[in-house]
Structure 1
Amino acid sequence: MRFNPLAPSFRADPYPQYAALREAPPVRTLGMWVLTRHADVVAVLRDRSVSAELIPQVVARRGPGAEAILRLGRASLVFTDDPAHARLRGLVNRVFTTAAVEELTPLVEAAVDARTAGLAGTVELMATVADPLPVEVLCTWLGLPTALHGRVARWTHEVRLLLEPGLMTEDDLARVAAVVETFAGTLADVRTAGLLHELRRARTAGGDRLSEEEVAFLGIMCFVAGTETSAALIGNAVLALLAHPDQVGAARARPAAAVREVLRHDSPLQMTTRRAGGDLVVGDARIAAGEQLLLCLGAANRDPRVFEDPDRFDVDRPPGPHLGFGFGMHGCLGGALAELVAGRTLGALLERGLRPAGPVRRRTDSGIVRGPAELPVQVGP
């Protein structure tokens, strides 16, 4: 079976291709094994011999100008393996707790109210609400002044390109490396109360702490991992409900359940990559050490072996093991915050009423993030 994840038809609707791939032996594309079954994807994400350092390794081969990017990779939860990952996670977990996210509820509600209270008539929802909201919430939590919010959004979009290094040119790498230096320097100068301050204070029982550069780089990756995907989650949730008006009542009553079903049904993060640390047998595939793996989270989330009638969007579906936030040691640390922001935003929008107001334009600048680029809606009765 042939598979081209860059094909326009696949980006428009990947799910028919995913269904075919799940029923066939694993294929290879762009030099990577493509895994689509839920059990296979979970097996790889659970296996600690499989490396998440693939992207920094790819960047390292592109030339000496990527030093700032490599330093970012070494201080990132997304791109590190044990023991470096365990050290970073142990420190970050002392700050990024469930209780800390719950304490952000008033902050999130205030940001949602500010963005949605005056909405009426025809609105382009992504630019007006979905794109800026996650940035604003995270900027406020980190303690960044309002004047920086716009620049942070632009820098984040540039740095996010690192998640797809195969699509980057040499000029892209040089530009992103410069952005990383500027972004890190700006965060290093922020000394107000907030998440950055708490990361600086974090200590292990043995006295280990994060360096100033590690704090700044962790701040950058909070934005890279958590803002564009959260915006896509909000957009995908609205799209799902516009396409399934029979589910609006249930979503209005239980927005958190609606968000959870969107994470499964139309995952904002569709794919992630790994490298085999040793020889592996995954399902029908015999994978040699060093080979690259493309894990299709969006396909796994519609695997009929795990989810009954998986193509159906159902807010009242019982909670299941979706992989919208990944799985295992690299599972998304900010998942609870993403659900909080998306749930509060969806609830506020549904209270005002939504109808389609024009053609939707899907993102075409990413092969791994799935969501609308433009989403016109009619707000109000």
Structure 2
Amino acid sequence: MPAPQGSAAPGPVLEDPLPFQADLRAAGPVVHLDKYDVFAMGRYNEVHAALTDWQTFQSAAGVGLSNFRYDKPWRPPSLLLEADPPHHDAPRAVLTKILGPREIRRLGESWATDAEELVEDLLARGKEFDAVTDLAAAFPLRVFPDAVGIPQAGREDLLPYGDHVFNAFGPPNELVAKGAPRVAGLSASIASQCARDVLTADGFGAQIWAAADRGDITEAQAPLIVRSLLTAGVDTTVNGLAVVLYAFATHPDQWDLLREKPALSRTAFDEAVRFESPVQTFFRTTTRDIEVGGALIPEGRKILMFLGSANRDPRRWENPDAFDLNRDPSGHLGFGFGIHQCVGQHIARLEAATILSVLAKRITSIEISGPTRRHHNNTLRAWASLPVRVRTA
């Protein structure tokens, strides 16, 4: 079917994708976007099926608009995100073990202390602050780089590098062009932070290099896996925390419910990721002719999966436009699904649950206190500024 109206206007769609996503779902299970000559899926069932069928919908040809069968990637492809079995297996197994339950429990206590210090310092400065820069970005940038074990110097490059990576998935528009002049410098900075000799001895990065020493992965793979961790573990978590704070500021009854039942903090984060998915889209490439929803998609074609749209699909979710802590959000596609599902999602949940637990103890209400501003990215749904006013217990 042809693209729904509005698909050729990226500015308005990035500012507010919901009308376009509704049109996309209404147009059919598969839609052809004429401007980019790609197929698109916006309904839950079709997106979920594509994510779980890596044999037919491959990642190795790139999860952006560029097709690695013909186009040279601008950086070495991610061994996790842009690889399929068997090349994907060893790096995935190493990270799954490193980011396992025991490691998460070890981080929990220290991160709780960091969260309490951050919130106390923030409230000491006043009851109004920017929920993005002062909280959603500040907490992950405080705890996650330490957990990976990267040096202090260069951490300021993490967010702009990640922003460009997600922009570069396409299309090649003004957002990509804006980041292009800094690409070489940012890439060199991040690469230098992934080297064995600069990492602390007790972080995730050192454990990845130890896996290379054991022969679980190669020495050439080790820095690329550290890079994948840094790329995927900062911007997405920052935006996820911003979403949950925005959701609570605009749904005060749900904040009251969280304060009444603090155990809902993890549910709250997953519901926020469903409600406004930080990662909105990813591409796949067909390995064979495949019929989806009555439409034939030829082999070798790019498929654009709208994760954010699938997470608002009324065919799957009751009252999908509501942020509701009484909902079971499990099964949402905000972290992907299948073998490429986000390997660090439990770390993101821990970060969110930790900061939300501290906020719920200290703050009785959150409300928007000024004009909000979106940060546009080709792949991410992000905030640039979210001024809030809080009342404390």
* Fold match by TM threshold 0.5: yes
| RMSD of aligned alpha carbons | 2.6
- The counterpart of 2:294, out of the listed 266, 279, 284, is 284
> Which range moved further: 254-263 or 15-24?
15-24
Task: Give, in angstroms, the shift of residue 105 of structure 1.
Answer: 0.7
* Post-superposition CA distance 1:88-116 (Å, at most 9, x none): 21222231213222221123223322321
Q: Given the superposition, is the C-alpha separation of residues 203 and 187 from structure 1 closer, same or farther in structure 2, using an over 3 Å criterion? A: closer
Q: Given the superposition, is the C-alpha separation of residues 284 and 134 from structure 1 closer, same or farther in structure 2, using an over 3 Å criterion? A: farther
Map of 2:349 onto structure 1 = 339
* Post-superposition CA distance 1:332-355 (Å, at most 9, x none): 001111111122223333432322
- The counterpart of 2:98, out of the listed 72, 91, 95, is 95
* Post-superposition CA distance 1:235-285 (Å, at most 9, x none): 111111121112111223222221121111111111111111111112233
- The counterpart of 1:40, out of the listed 46, 64, 69, is 46
CA–CA separation in structure 1 for the residues paired with 2:189 and 2:306 = 33
Task: Give, in angstroms, the shift of residue 12 of structure 1.
Answer: 2.9
Q: Given the superposition, is the C-alpha separation of residues 109 and 232 from structure 1 closer, same or farther in structure 2, using an over 3 Å criterion? A: same
> Which range moved further: 113-122 or 34-43?
113-122
Identity of aligned residues (%): 28
SS at match of 2:198: coil
SS at match of 1:359: coil
Q: Given the superposition, is the C-alpha separation of residues 61 and 323 from structure 1 closer, same or farther in structure 2, using an over 3 Å criterion? A: closer
Task: Give, in angstroms, the shift of residue 292 of structure 1.
Answer: 0.7
Task: Give, in angstroms, the shift of residue 327 of structure 1.
Answer: 0.3
Q: Is the 8 A contact 1:136 1:149 kept in 2?
A: no
> Which range moved further: 83-92 or 171-180?
171-180
Map of 1:368 onto structure 2 = 379
Gaps of 5+ in 2: none
1:221 aligns with 2:228: yes
Q: Given the superposition, is the C-alpha separation of residues 171 and 251 from structure 1 closer, same or farther in structure 2, using an over 3 Å criterion? A: closer
Map of 2:211 onto structure 1 = 202
Q: Is the 8 A contact 1:36 1:299 kept in 2?
A: yes
Q: Is the 8 A contact 1:43 1:282 kept in 2?
A: no
Task: Give, in angstroms, the shift of residue 302 of structure 1.
Answer: 1.6
CA–CA separation in structure 1 for the residues paired with 2:70 and 2:119 = 44
Map of 1:58 onto structure 2 = 66
* Post-superposition CA distance 1:139-195 (Å, at most 9, x none): 111112334432444444444443336337679557424532332123203242211
Equivalent residue runs for 1:249-264 within 5 Å:
249-252=256-259, 253=261, 254-264=264-274
SS at match of 2:230: helix
Q: Is the 8 A contact 1:135 1:223 kept in 2?
A: no
Map of 1:268 onto structure 2 = 278
Q: Given the superposition, is the C-alpha separation of residues 358 and 268 from structure 1 closer, same or farther in structure 2, using an over 3 Å criterion? A: same
Q: Is the 8 A contact 1:259 1:339 kept in 2?
A: yes
- The counterpart of 2:17, out of the listed 14, 17, 20, is 14
Map of 2:367 onto structure 1 = 355
Q: Normalised by the size of structure 1, how large is the TM-score?
A: 0.89
SS at match of 2:88: helix
Gaps of 5+ in 1: none
Map of 2:253 onto structure 1 = 246
SS at match of 2:326: coil
Q: Given the superposition, is the C-alpha separation of residues 262 and 276 from structure 1 closer, same or farther in structure 2, using an over 3 Å criterion? A: same
Q: Given the superposition, is the C-alpha separation of residues 162 and 59 from structure 1 closer, same or farther in structure 2, using an over 3 Å criterion? A: farther
CA–CA separation in structure 2 for the residues paired with 1:112 and 1:209 = 35
* Post-superposition CA distance 1:30-78 (Å, at most 9, x none): 22211011110011111122111325893869987x66x1x3x1x5201
SS at match of 1:164: coil
Q: Is the 8 A contact 1:41 1:295 kept in 2?
A: yes
CA–CA separation in structure 1 for the residues paired with 2:370 and 2:190 = 36
Map of 2:145 onto structure 1 = 139
Q: Normalised by the size of structure 2, how large is the TM-score?
A: 0.86
Map of 2:31 onto structure 1 = 27
Map of 2:127 onto structure 1 = 121
Task: Give, in angstroms, the shift of residue 3 of structure 1.
Answer: 4.4
Q: Is the 8 A contact 1:111 1:137 kept in 2?
A: yes
Letter in 2 for 1:129: L
Question: What is the aligned residue count?
Answer: 373
Letter in 2 for 1:197: A
SS at match of 1:260: helix
Q: Is the 8 A contact 1:237 1:346 kept in 2?
A: no
SS at match of 1:146: coil
Map of 1:105 onto structure 2 = 108
Q: Given the superposition, is the C-alpha separation of residues 34 and 246 from structure 1 closer, same or farther in structure 2, using an over 3 Å criterion? A: same
SS at match of 1:28: strand
Letter in 1 for 2:39: W
State the 4+ residue runs in structure 1 displaced beyond 4 angstroms. 59-64, 168-175
CA–CA separation in structure 1 for the residues paired with 2:38 and 2:99 = 33
Letter in 2 for 1:232: N
Q: Is the 8 A contact 2:244 2:268 kept in 1?
A: yes
Q: Given the superposition, is the C-alpha separation of residues 282 and 194 from structure 1 closer, same or farther in structure 2, using an over 3 Å criterion? A: same
CA–CA separation in structure 1 for the residues paired with 2:255 and 2:369 = 17
CA–CA separation in structure 2 for the residues paired with 1:317 and 1:171 = 40
CA–CA separation in structure 2 for the residues paired with 1:222 and 1:5 = 33
Equivalent residue runs for 1:313-328 within 5 Å:
313-328=323-338
